[in-house]
Amino acid sequence: MTYSVAIIGATGIVGQQAITALINHPEFEISALAGSEKSAGKRYADAINRNDIIEWYADTELTAEISAMKIHNSTELNPKDFDLVFSCVESDVARILEPKFAEHCPVISTASAFRYEEDVPLIIPSVNPEQADLIKTQKAKRGWNGFICPIPNCTTTGLAITLKPLDKAFGVKNVMMTSLQAISGAGRNPGVKALDIIDNVVPYIPGEEEKVEKETKKILGKNFGVSCTCMRVAVLEGHTESVFVELQKEASIEDVKKAFENFSTKINTHSTPKHLIKVFSDPSRPQPRLDRDTGGGLTTCVGRIRKDEIFGLKYVLLSHNTKMGAAAGAVWLAELLAQKGYVN
């Protein structure tokens, strides 16, 4: 059984990672790639060509098949032609386009446009798959045949994945986080300029902190203290986060390590990584360049787990922002929803 899928926003970095995650996928087949009016009608390889540089940023080779595919205009695709749509567009575009598709078919989205609406689930398969039930409410309320199911912001993802086992075992009370985010998180057009980041740190990413604070609560399904500062550093891929956590119950460092290492999921789909969390004992790890591709970029890496004199616990995590935090995470979510019967 194969589902026919369209990718809208296919020329951006997230779209590129979606293509990568879907090539050779056993269940999903790319039927259409769509982009803006400007890209429409071009071959894929031409649409991402700027001044003779092919702006392909995934770590797999751009295949000849994809290169040659014609880009459709997103606004002209017929939703009824697909079993599933992956939306990799920016939020302002998502707000307009996604409902049009959702009227007729399921939309898995990496955009933030609908994340904060009450009848819209915000799911990480390993953390809160049960939130998928909201889809029924959404369909009923909106009178749609399809639905919109977004994935969280890439900075939220690693944080929520590491907080989940802690919350289950010890209760999470307060979380303070500082992120060192990769430049790929800013996308391809225009993305981060080399002049802004070489020999530099940019201590501000518009809107990011608010997203992390709201989304972490929605995913864990509880109200608790979440505060963060998000910065950009000269790293290609992989968000590093310095996390301080106050727990409700006393927990030894050994307890915490065990909670991380034993964190598992019953979901068994094509993309499910062998380990949800990998714990490093080497104090200099995880490092983005060395560890971001652990588990195909779907495993969250954790290190430097130690006592904190104020909150009790601190650690460092690393999460691949354009894989687990974007397209590959979206594909994993689609597999989950298909398994649960939400995709036909």
Closest CB to a copy of itself among 327 and 334? Answer: 327
Binding of a copy of itself by 196 (CB under 8 A): yes
Cα distance between residue 300 and residue 263, in whole Å: 11
Regarding 304 and contact with a copy of itself (CB under 8 A), the answer is: yes
Respond yes or no: is residue 239 known to be catalytic. Answer: yes
Side by side, which strands form the sheet with 106-109?
Answer: 71-73, 28-35, 3-8, 84-87, 106-109, 147-150
Backbone angles phi, psi at 314, to 5 degrees: -140, 150
Residue 180 is a binding residue for a copy of itself (CB under 8 A): yes
> Is 136 one of the binding residues for a copy of itself (CB under 8 A)?
no
Q: Is 193 in the site for a copy of itself (CB under 8 A)?
A: yes
Binding segment for a copy of itself (CB under 8 A), chosen from 80-88, 238-246, 266-274, 331-339, is 238-246
- Selection from 179, 177, 213 nearest residue 311 by Cα: 177
Does position 67 bind a copy of itself by CB under 8 A? no
Cβ–Cβ < 8 Å for 85, 63: no
Choose the stretch contacting a copy of itself; rule: CB under 8 A; options: 93-101, 159-167, 240-248, 253-261: 240-248
Q: Which of 159, 172, 155 is nearest to 127 (CA)?
A: 159
Establish if 158 lies at the interface with a copy of itself (CB under 8 A): no
Closer residue to a copy of itself, CB minimum distance, 23 or 202: 202
Give the C-alpha separation, 84 to 188, whole Å.
Answer: 24
Nearest to 329 by CA among 28, 17, 59: 17
Compare residues 117 and 308 and give the one whose CB is closer to a copy of itself. Answer: 308
Q: 147 vs 2, 105, 106, 258, CA distance in Å? A: 20, 7, 5, 37
Query: CA distances (Å), 53 to each of 10, 46, 50, 245, in order?
Result: 17, 10, 5, 44
CA neighbor of 5 nearest in space, from 94, 117, 107: 107
Nearest Cα to 87, choosing from 118, 113, 124, 57?
113
Asked if 200 is part of the footprint of a copy of itself (rule: CB under 8 A), the reply reads yes
Site membership for a copy of itself, residue 286 (CB under 8 A): yes
Residue from 53, 118, 143, 266 that binds a copy of itself (CB under 8 A)? 53
Does 223 bind a copy of itself (CB under 8 A)? Our answer is no
149 belongs to the catalytic site: no
Q: Which one from 149, 239, 301, 320 is the annotated catalytic residue?
A: 239
Q: Does 50 bind a copy of itself (CB under 8 A)?
A: yes
Q: Which stretch binds a copy of itself (CB under 8 A): 140-148, 161-169, 176-184, 327-335?
A: 176-184
| Segment interacting with a copy of itself, rule: CB under 8 A, options 139-147, 148-156, 203-211, 254-262 | 203-211
Among 194, 250, 266, 341, binds a copy of itself (CB under 8 A): 194
DSSP 96-116: HHHHHHHTTSEEEE-SSTTTT
Residues 135, 178: contact at Cβ < 8 Å? no
Residue 225 is a binding residue for a copy of itself (CB under 8 A): yes
Residue 132 CA to residue 180 CA, distance in Å, equals 31
Residue with tokens 């589902």: 3
By CB under 8 A, residue 38 contacts a copy of itself: no
Which lies closer to a copy of itself via its Cβ, residue 6 or residue 226? Answer: 226
Q: Tell me which of 88, 105, 149, 154 is the catalytic residue.
A: 154
| Contact predicate 227/177, CB 8 Å | yes
Q: Which is nearer to a copy of itself, 50 or 168 (CB)?
A: 50
Find the shortest distance in angstroms from Cβ 194 to a copy of itself. 4
Dist. CA 129–CA 88, nearest whole Å: 21
- Catalytic positions are 154, 239
**What residues line the site for a copy of itself (CB under 8 A)?**
13, 50-55, 57, 174, 176, 178, 180, 183-184, 188-204, 206, 213, 225-227, 229, 231, 233-236, 240, 242, 244, 282-290, 303-304, 308-311, 314, 316
